[in-house]
Amino acid sequence: MRKLALILIGFAVFAGGITLTRQSTAAPKEHRYLYVATPGIRNYVEYGGVGILVYDIDQGYKWVKRIPTWDGPPENVKGIAANAQTAKIYISTPKRIACFDLITEKKTWEQELDGGCDRMALSPDGRVLYVPSFEGPHWNIVDALDGRVIKKIVPDSGAHNTVYGPDGKFAYLAGLRSPHLSVAETTTHSIAKTVGPFTKPVRPFTINGSQTLCFVNVNELLGFEVGDIRTGRMLHRIEVAGFEKGQVKRHGCPSHGIAMTVDESEIWLCDAFNQRLHIFDARQMPPKQKQSINVRDQPGWISFSIDGKRAYPSTGEVIDVKTKRTLTTLTDEQGRAVQSEKMLEIVMVDGRPVRAGDQFGIGGKR
């Protein structure tokens, strides 16, 4: 009996050791956060003050903290970008661009670039920034690790919005005084082609994941136009049905903000005057209007969660993409309704970033 008892005790210890080993090798748990740069509606501090506001997505978008950016008079945040591999997040204003470490939350570098800054884009590897001058003739190509200017591209288009292709081979440059979308080849940092002309100057835009189609807002249109990136031709013009154009608070454009869902089944479109998001079926060409959602103010931007399940309009709602229901609205530590056209997701494991989202709603199929 004593021998049997010793055997059983030994087996229990061995089994316990297996359990402990299994527990110690379990994958660390991911935690999702939403980073919102403010003031992200012009320089209006009533929509969340100044700084980068962090929300805990896994706790129902609970406010977590405010990361300081700049002292002094409020500067309108023009763009936000981040990369998990380098653990960096970038904020631009008309005056400057700055890099912050996502782990220490300290500023790594800051530059006042020639011509100012607008909505920039970051390469997928986190090493190169395409930074438009503030409605000027050129884009500054910047080393994202130290802020050094590598080169300039001069489309002379009124530099404004920028999208970096998901494969890192091309960057898409839209100026608010040009009806063409310029396509830059990122090895040589030179213009390879243009798409268009569209009917008016290009405003916000997005692309599908395979980089064959672009979907662009243009001046004076409540709707959007579609371009073929391969041929450079405009394909379709889609006008919102059932709604009238009217006076807008900002941007001077009926539809300022467009995004493609991660699964590429839908296009979401801003309608400022009517305070709506219009949704189109993108599984057919041209996309077909199918639904509209009310929001609490005039929207000027839309992005999506990394997994594609949530939509983030600039008006501060969090919307379930499948059901189209508003799940919650963002507020800051003072209880103010937060609005911003510059936000993205960061996924952390043990305090370190492992994935970063994008300020644009770009299709996810490659």
The band of 366, judged by pLDDT with boundaries at 50, 70 and 90, is confident
Residue 19: pLDDT over 80 = no
Condensed to tens digits (0 to 9), the pLDDT of residues 114-126 reads 999 999 999 999 9
pLDDT at residue 21, as a whole number: 45
Question: CA 274 to CA 158: how far, in whole Å?
Answer: 28
Residue 283: pLDDT over 90 = yes
Q: Are strands 97-101 and 107-111 parallel, antiparallel or unpaired?
A: antiparallel
Query: 282 vs 91, 207, 208, 291, 361, CA distance in Å?
Result: 31, 12, 10, 13, 14
pLDDT at residue 25, as a whole number: 65
The total of other beta-carbon atoms located within 10 Å of residue 46's CB is: 11
Peptide bond into 204 cis (omega under 30): no
Those residues whose C-beta lies under 8 Å from the C-beta of residue 86, and which sit 6 or more positions away, are 126, 127, 144, 145
Percent of the chain with pLDDT over 90: 92
**Domain boundary assignment for the chain:** 28-356
CA torsion sign for 135, 357, 100, 43 is positive
**SS3 of residue 319 by DSSP:** strand
Query: 205 vs 66, 75, 265, CA distance in Å?
Result: 29, 24, 17
Instruction: Pull the structure tokens for residue 53.
Output: 């506001």
Question: CA 145 to CA 163: how far, in whole Å?
Answer: 19
Question: CA 191 to CA 58: how far, in whole Å?
Answer: 42
Question: CA 236 to CA 240: how far, in whole Å?
Answer: 13
Peptide bond into 39 cis (omega under 30): yes
User: Which of 62, 145, 131 minimizes the C-alpha distance to 101?
Assistant: 145
User: Which of 133, 172, 184 minimizes the C-alpha distance to 156?
Assistant: 133
The total of other beta-carbon atoms located within 10 Å of residue 2's CB is: 6
Percent of the chain with pLDDT over 70: 93
Condensed to tens digits (0 to 9), the pLDDT of residues 84-104 reads 999 999 999 999 999 999 999
Condensed to tens digits (0 to 9), the pLDDT of residues 175-206 reads 999 999 999 999 999 999 999 999 999 999 99
The band of 3, judged by pLDDT with boundaries at 50, 70 and 90, is very low
**Which fold does the domain 28-356 belong to in CATH?**
Methylamine Dehydrogenase; Chain H (2.130.10)
